[in-house]
Structure 1
Amino acid sequence: MTASQLLDNIILHENAYFYIKETSGFLSKRIIKETFSEAATDKHGRSLLEIVKEKKTLSNGIEIFYSILVFKYIKKPSFTEELIINWEEVKLAYMCIVDFEEHLVVTRRNISKISDFLKTFEVLDYNVITSIYSQDNTSFEKLSMDNMNISDRAIRQKSLESPDLKENVSSFGLQGYILNTVRVSNDEEKIALSVNSSRINQLGPKNTFNAFLNWCNKTVEKIKNYVPKTNFLSSFATSIDYSKHKDDLTPTSILIILSKIYKEFEENKIKRCFFRIKKRNEILEREINLIPILKQFEYLLEIEDIEDVYKIKNNVVNDLSLFLNNKSITLRSKKLSKLFIEYETDLCYPILSVINWTRSYIITFDNPEFIYCNRKLFKDSRLLGNLDSVLKIFKEDPELENVTSEKGKFQVNLTNFETNSVFGFVENTFKANYEYFICDDLSKEWADHIGLNEDSIAFYHSKYKNSNFSASDFQDIIGQALKNLGNLSPSDDQWEIKERLWSNLYKNDFVETQISRIRTGQSSNQTISYFKTIKGYPNIKKQVHIVINFISKSALEDRLHKLKNGESFQERNEVIQILWFISSLISSCFEANTEVYIHCKP
């Protein structure tokens, strides 16, 4: 077959990535050949089809250039350790570049080595890709979104599906989520959009190559004729121009999102992990278990500005830092650049490259209105604009100024927690409000105390510290509350372990006291029976109470107003992190239909 005959035999889905060029003009043959050469480094034999920069006049008179590459490659099966003769998997890969003067369209399959080429183009602006298929009668059928919440205990991703989500999803709270993918319906036309990667997929049968080119042209015309409009998707977080604000940004903390790597482990896509070490003139590889290393990075990490180097504080490597590029923020580390992930596809990448490519981190700054996520900068003025609302969850109690420990000292004849402990304060202050009050501290606890009555299920989380405005201490107690939100409505398989625990006396520091776990109420059986009953009440209130001694409401209010007014003060970075944690707590509790209160010093 001739190249023309082969091209006539190709059928493609109307599915491609759309980019914008920084400067108008068509790509040179040299750039396309270099890209094809990079994409086909593993090809077996000669290319099956290679057309470079072929001119084409479309039906509306627009002139474009297209280039296409098809090749064969050999792959080792995933279930063998080494390649066995006659056990090879023969696969085909293709890549097609459709070159408009100001835009570029790329469709590909089994191609993964062209990241350097694609970096030279801009993905479609968030507002453009979410608007070009939005009309008055558009139905939004499916959404997936990423959470900007910086708590390591927050739900990271959510997916929603309905015949039309704008009819049954409240827009309140969506500002804290970044839209990832969306499927819309316009009459008989369904389109799936990948917002972060600029992929547009018009669902339907495959079509001829010429029809694919005409679809690319129609889509580019939609992009060129974009007119800003407000629609249902406008409720989500929208990005601002990072390059315009880059010089004013000072990073203060980072949360590295590892869920994508963990998912690849679950799906058996990762073959092995290893360090690549150069010894004398020899390159050695030492396999490692990556999971324990990753666990050291699961928390919000502080960033220090040391001589204009943004060092990320952690317990694993001492050279991990952030670099503010012209268009994005990336992680750097010479030590971690030697740590590789090898996939079942035999492709091998440094772990930092994987994290940078997948945009797997959230960064906060000394200006709390800014947050960086998914390679985009977002500005949210609500954080400082709603300080009065934020402070309403704080409840002042002067008695918290007198506590001297979290649980007090333990003795075998003790029947109550010491009055000057946080536990003692909680019981003396709140126990009388409930028909059942339980000390659930230690051993896979849901909370330090649990209160039950006909109106509410309440979890009390307590913490004592000698610190003042400690973001790390605040993060610990917030994390404890967030990870147990689901236990406000326990599943049936959880009761057995609670029945055993709650029927015992309280034991701590190897001392078994006379403190009953059931602080108000009768037996553990009756307590559990009551819990099971009220959790099914349709109007039951779920509440989270955080009780701490190391924050004063008036002092926090003073610092937050200084922050809002742009004033400098000693605890600025800590207060910014605390503000983000409060915002995360409020957001997560709202989604779980749970009231939240923080009891602290006046």
Structure 2
Amino acid sequence: MEGAIARENAVFQKMRMRNMSVSPHVMRNKTLEAPNLANVVGPAGSRRYAPQTYAVSVDGIYSTATPSTGRIGVRSNKVNHEELIEFAVTIIDALRLDPVAVSPFIKTFARPMPLADALANSNPTAIAVDTARLAAAVIGEEATVRLVHVGDEIKKLSTEEVDELLDLLEQALTIEGNGKTRAARFPGEDNTVARISLNKSRIALRSLTLGNDAKVAVETRDLALGEDPERRPLHSFLDEKNCFIVLFDDARLSYIDGQVFRDEALLDGGKGVLPFLHPEGSLEDVTDEKGAFVADQVTFDESSTFGVIVERVAAKDGILICDDLGDEWADFIGIKKEADSVQVSFYHGKHGALTLSAGSFHVAVSQAIKNLGNMMFPSERMETKVQSWNTTYNAPNQPTQIPRVIRNDAGDLAASVARARNAPDVSRRAVIVTSSLSKKVVEDEFKKIQAGKRPTHTFVQLHWLLQSFFSACTEVGASGSIVCRP
């Protein structure tokens, strides 16, 4: 369809889009209209939206397309049947062209495509559980289900058991076979640990023995333990929620959330990701997120992510507040006033082993996206918020003497917040500070993909998660960034 409508010289004038993020805190759908959308929609705001319908102008001809149904329309005066046939032949011929020069604008989107089309030109090669989505469903304030052991008695999995299960489920399996039903195995092993079915419109997860799936079930949290009449095996829940990722031998294709997407960005060398990653050398020496605490402590440990934020990342912020715990908007909130501008920063700190897994990022991204609206400092909530800052930081089970207001070069804190809220020249940043990611490692991974290596499922997850974060920030007029290891 793109070859017929979204040609290289097409001017996009209207588009209805669906957000591909699974976060409940993002805009789900939006419609944009302009004489030329390429002039008003940047790539950071388009990466996580899938076009549902669009209208273009090519050589004075106004056309519309709906990719999911294949419908193509052209605005014109009434025509006779011969002209209608000529139009149909022209469109059919354009659809047959391969390869074809496609509009650079449409390439900035991850475009959905029918599963049948993907399978006609490529083969699925790997499958893995979308552990980031599973973790979101079972862990944290917004969890909707719990994992339980089934047997003689129903018993909820402990936090440690959930973590172990997620680590196990994160392993990628190689898909083998040529039929409709295919087996998935660990690379180099013979035992089948999962089976999938390649149906007409979706991929179904038929079985999964990885992680003692037969002994783990999923219950709703709305009912007491053991009383959910719709309790089902883990693999059934994963299938129902499309909570798995399938990769193809075409590196541009990924089956995510029950839909095949073609994402050219994975082949662009990281142009849509690397500029948002900022190396910070001191994160190499971090050993904990918050550090250890004693009663008379007045600063955060230098070897903690919190310490790096205070002393390095947010060092130029005249106002810096620790907002961790309680009604938390961010781990730290910074305000920097310069001669002609104000900058508001929400810092979210994390620590972990160096990895390219999305799992370690999911909590931080979720927290950052959830609190983007609070970067506007809503006036009705600020009195209580400012009062909570006029205290010392009390770590879990250990009060300290660390003031929540780390720095304040403006005096009246409430007035400073009000000025930042109302300033016409304010810029807002959501910053994730983590020791679990290295910019060079990410850069090297993009280079390998450009050289022909297929991306791993964990890197695809990470890429999608970061793009969702950057896109969500753009939606509210903020900028998103990651401060990480060099």
Pairwise TM-score range, normalised by the shorter structure = 0.5 to 0.7
Distance 1:216 1:481 in 2: 57
Is contact 2:6–2:106 with CA below 8 Å preserved after alignment?
A: no
Residue 406 of structure 2 aligns to a residue whose secondary structure is strand
Residues 364-373 or 448-457, more deviating = 364-373
Q: 1:494 aligns with which of 381, 384, 388?
A: 381
The letter for the 1-side match of 2:428 is: K
The equivalent residue for 1:365 is 247
Distance 2:105 2:278 in 1: 36
Residue 427 of structure 1 aligns to a residue whose secondary structure is helix
Q: Are 1:157 and 2:31 an aligned pair?
A: no
The letter for the 2-side match of 1:421 is: S
Q: How does 1:18-417 map to 2 (within 5 A)?
A: 143-149=15-21, 152=23, 155=26, 157-160=28-31, 166=37, 169-170=40-41, 172-173=43-44, 174=46, 176-181=48-53, 195-197=67-69, 223=88, 225-226=90-91, 228=94, 234=106, 236-238=109-111, 241-254=117-130, 302=170, 304-305=172-173, 308=176, 309=183, 322-325=196-199, 328-332=202-206, 363=245, 365=247, 369-372=252-255, 377-387=260-270, 390-417=273-300
The letter for the 2-side match of 1:242 is: A
Is contact 1:475–1:581 with CA below 8 Å preserved after alignment?
A: yes
TM-score by length of 1: 0.53
Q: How does 1:441-590 map to 2 (within 5 A)?
A: 441-454=324-337, 455-466=342-353, 468-521=355-408, 526-567=412-453, 572-590=456-474
Distance 1:556 1:453 in 2: 30
The equivalent residue for 2:152 is none
The equivalent residue for 1:95 is none
The equivalent residue for 2:97 is none
Describe the superposition over 1:436-457 as per-residue Cα deviations: whole angstroms up to 9, x where unpaired: 1000111231211111022311
CA RMSD of aligned residues (A): 5.1
The equivalent residue for 2:188 is none
Residue 533 of structure 1 aligns to a residue whose secondary structure is helix
Describe the superposition over 1:448-487 as per-residue Cα deviations: whole angstroms up to 9, x where unpaired: 1111022311111111124544431122222222222222
Distance 1:230 1:560 in 2: 23
Task: Note the C-alpha offset of 1:518.
Answer: 1.0
Residue 400 of structure 2 aligns to a residue whose secondary structure is strand
Is contact 1:196–1:374 with CA below 8 Å preserved after alignment?
A: no
Distance 2:441 2:371 in 1: 29
Distance 2:196 2:85 in 1: 35
Pair 158,233 (structure 1): closer, same or farther in 2 beyond 3 Å: farther
Pair 442,165 (structure 1): closer, same or farther in 2 beyond 3 Å: farther
Distance 2:67 2:474 in 1: 26
Residue 250 of structure 1 aligns to a residue whose secondary structure is strand
**Structure of larger gyration radius:** 1
Distance 1:567 1:231 in 2: 26
Describe the superposition over 1:268-310 as per-residue Cα deviations: whole angstroms up to 9, x where unpaired: xxxxxxxxxxxxxxxxxxxxxxxxxxxxxxx998474277545
The equivalent residue for 1:56 is none
Describe the superposition over 1:160-213 as per-residue Cα deviations: whole angstroms up to 9, x where unpaired: 26586749742645454222246899xxxx9997642467999xxxxxxxxxxx
Pair 443,389 (structure 1): closer, same or farther in 2 beyond 3 Å: same
Distance 1:192 1:374 in 2: 26
Task: Note the C-alpha offset of 1:489.
Answer: 1.6
Residues 369-378 or 472-481, more deviating = 369-378
The letter for the 1-side match of 2:197 is: F
The letter for the 2-side match of 1:578 is: L
Residue 368 of structure 2 aligns to a residue whose secondary structure is helix
Residue 287 of structure 2 aligns to a residue whose secondary structure is coil
Distance 2:349 2:257 in 1: 34
Task: Note the C-alpha offset of 1:508.
Answer: 1.5
Task: Note the C-alpha offset of 1:254.
Answer: 4.1
Determine what percentage of the aligned residue pairs are the same residue: 25
TM-score by length of 2: 0.64
Pair 509,372 (structure 1): closer, same or farther in 2 beyond 3 Å: same
Please list every run of 5 or more consecutive structure 1 residues that lacks an aligned counterpart in the other structure: 1-124, 203-213, 259-298, 312-318, 340-349
The letter for the 1-side match of 2:311 is: N
The equivalent residue for 1:599 is 483
Please list every run of 5 or more consecutive structure 2 residues that lacks an aligned counterpart in the other structure: 95-100, 135-165, 177-182, 186-192, 209-213, 220-231
Distance 2:82 2:125 in 1: 39
The equivalent residue for 1:291 is none
Describe the superposition over 1:539-597 as per-residue Cα deviations: whole angstroms up to 9, x where unpaired: 322122222122333333334323432458xx944334333333333333334433333
Describe the superposition over 1:190-248 as per-residue Cα deviations: whole angstroms up to 9, x where unpaired: 9997642467999xxxxxxxxxxx99999998655426497899565545631234424
The letter for the 2-side match of 1:544 is: A
The equivalent residue for 2:161 is none
Name the structure, 1 or 2, with higher relative contact order (CA <8 Å, separation 6+).
Answer: 2
Residue 422 of structure 2 aligns to a residue whose secondary structure is coil
Pair 582,412 (structure 1): closer, same or farther in 2 beyond 3 Å: same
Is contact 1:127–1:238 with CA below 8 Å preserved after alignment?
A: no
Pair 223,332 (structure 1): closer, same or farther in 2 beyond 3 Å: farther
The letter for the 1-side match of 2:199 is: N
